[in-house]
Amino acid sequence: MRYRLLVTDLDGTLLDRRGRVSEGNRLAIRKARDAGLEIVVATGRSWMEARAVVEEAGIEGLCIAVGGASLHRATDGGVVHTFDMCPQAAQDCTRIISEHGHVAHVFRDATRAGHDYLLVGSHDLHPVSDWWFKEFPVAVERIACPTHWQPEAHAHAVLRTGTVASARELPALVDRLRDQVGDAVTMQHWGAVTQDMSIGTQTHVLEIFAAGVDKWTMIEHVCGLRGVGTDQVATVGDGMNDLGMLRAAALGISMENAHEHAHAAANVRVGHHDRNGFAEAVELVMSHR
């Protein structure tokens, strides 16, 4: 087999629109494992947010989480590696987000920080964020104002910061962040469709990482751990945070339901995430000898 790793996104890729792993996709994962093809998850979720579906899928190896900022053992969530943000950049981004009237979502390595999310700002939490924190078993703390940020308590172990807002609110914020923080970070933002219909407006997610960090950065680290060349990696995804790994992998596979930019970045397209498109991707990868 030419490929030794198949790295897959979760939402919109391995998972159907209900957020579940189909029986067809579970069978494909077992078939891949039996053939010696390792399936690695790469998701924007944290490991705690992904844990239930990773277990449902039967993934036993590694899980790339937080958009590429952390790497975990899939079976127990043990942290293997992280790419931390520069403390000053994390604080600057958090302050700017709060000054624009949003609650900053500072995601931290809970093994060092004692919690998953530090929410900064006195503004009302966006409805999608409120739903998310109630839906998943994450530890959340909150401070009312960026001036309460204490470097010794809050600046270490930051993997990502950002916010959730309506599409019309984010451009001005992103422009200011680019102007004031610039090359110290990597930023990405896109539409989040999960809860759009429930609140009647288009919701966008802004995520900010250490400079150069994305899913592909951590995939390269995984290749080093596994002794695998990047020319032996295939990736499958659907969204804007998958573009780097779709472009860089030897074989990039987009889902039928993928964003148009994901199709442009990929080499080939498979079926819809509601119709076992991931299982089709497994068959495609295994057919390359």
- Per CATH, domain 87-210 is 3.40.50.150: no
Cα–Cα distance between 227 and 139 in angstroms, integer? 35
Give all strands (DSSP E) within the chain, no chain letters.
5-8, 38-42, 62-65, 70-73, 79-82, 104-108, 117-120, 140-143, 158-166, 185-192, 203-210, 233-237, 251-254, 268-269
Predicted confidence at residue 1, as pLDDT, reads 65
- β-strands 251-254, 233-237: how paired? parallel
Whether residue 230 contacts residue 166, with contact meaning beta carbons closer than 8 Å, is answered with: no
pLDDT over 70 (residue 250): yes
If one counts every other C-beta atom within 10 angstroms of the C-beta of residue 145, the result is 11
pLDDT over 70 (residue 200): no
Cα–Cα distance between 156 and 216 in angstroms, integer? 23
Quote the tokens at residue 184: 């110290």
Q: 273 vs 134, which has greater pLDDT?
A: 273
pLDDT over 70 (residue 193): no
Q: Domain map of the chain by residue range?
A: 5-82+213-286, 87-210
pLDDT over 70 (residue 280): yes
| Mean predicted confidence (pLDDT) in 25-43 | 96
Model confidence at 199, pLDDT cuts 50, 70, 90, reads: very low
Average pLDDT of the chain to the nearest whole number: 92
Predicted confidence at residue 166, as pLDDT, reads 82
The model's pLDDT over 69-92, given as tens digits with 9 standing for 90+, comes to 999 999 999 999 999 999 999 999
Q: In the chain, what is the straight-line distance between the N-terminal and C-terminal CA atoms, in Å?
A: 4
| Mean predicted confidence (pLDDT) in 53-73 | 96
Predicted confidence at residue 194, as pLDDT, reads 47
pTM reported for the whole predicted model: 0.93
| Mean predicted confidence (pLDDT) in 241-250 | 97
DSSP state of 12: I
With residue 133 as reference, give the H or E element that holds it: helix 127-135
Predicted confidence at residue 116, as pLDDT, reads 96
CATH fourth-level superfamily of 5-82+213-286: HAD superfamily/HAD-like (3.40.50.1000)
